[in-house]
Amino acid sequence: MFNQLKTIILLGALTGILLWIGSFWGQTGLTIAIIFAVLMNFGSYFWSDKIVLSMYKAQPADKHKYHELHQMVTSLAREGNIPKPQVYIVPSENPNAFATGRDPKHGVVAVTTGIMSLLSQEELKGVLAHEISHIKNRDILIQTVAATIAGVISYIATMAQWAALFGGFGGRDDEGGQGIIELLVLIILTPLLATLIQLAISRSREFMADQGGAKLMHSGKYLASALQKLEKGSAQHPMRQGNPSSAHMFIINPFKGGLMNLFMTHPPVSERVKKLEAI
């Protein structure tokens, strides 16, 4: 419940920032910002699954070759009371998994070849339960909306920067220092704040998916064990393809390197394991 409320508050904050930025250009600016958000959300909502599956060269999992994998997904989907998601295989040594699809009826679960050779069956089922929980909670849609709004904010801030350089920024107050201060906040602080809020939403949904996965498994120990293995395995075999901007979709950040916890798309594994072991 806390994470749900936190997500609502953070999405509200993101929307508020977007509306505040739009108000710099009056009704026209606000309308343009909203149109941008709607159009980008529409595209993301309907085609994000195809884009990400193509990006990672994912292929449908053969039902005979990956019979046990399909059985696990079927069992967990039934337990979660959602339609069985499509199952895909990503050819990568990086041990990982992700879920995509615009709603439970169009859900997709993808696992790498690396994760299937690293985890035990119960650990793999714990990971799949986490991804099923993402689909059930419609996290793909929520994170897509958050990423889209944050992207629009960054885009408008960049437009304001160029407009200011060429003297085309009107703002609400062209006289005195207040207009300059607001412009600096718009250009520098709002994109950073939007990104931090987007990442906070992503981390909050990961905690929720961990809890949901543990509930489906009736235990948190298998997912906790899997996360510890995946953290080490991902560091040894980082993802060689794809785009770091999609890191939030995976159960563990698949890419090498990273900044401080403030800029991470995932909560620290130690925190996730601690919460899972307490269930």
Tell me the catalytic residues: 131
Helix (H, G, I), strand (E, B) or coil at 134: helix
Q: What is the DSSP string of 222-235?
A: HHHHHHHHHHHHHH
Residue with tokens 């509200």: 12
Length of the chain in residues, anyone?
A: 279
Q: Is 252 in contact with 96 (CB distance < 8 Å)?
A: yes
Neighbouring CB atoms inside 10 A of 222's CB total 23
Q: Which amino acid is at 28?
A: T
Spatial separation of the C-alpha atoms in residues 75 and 73, rounded to whole Å? 5
Spatial separation of the C-alpha atoms in residues 129 and 135, rounded to whole Å? 10
| Lookup: tokens for 179 | 């207009």
Provide the edge-to-edge strand list for the sheet that holds 59-60.
59-60, 86-90, 108-112, 97-100
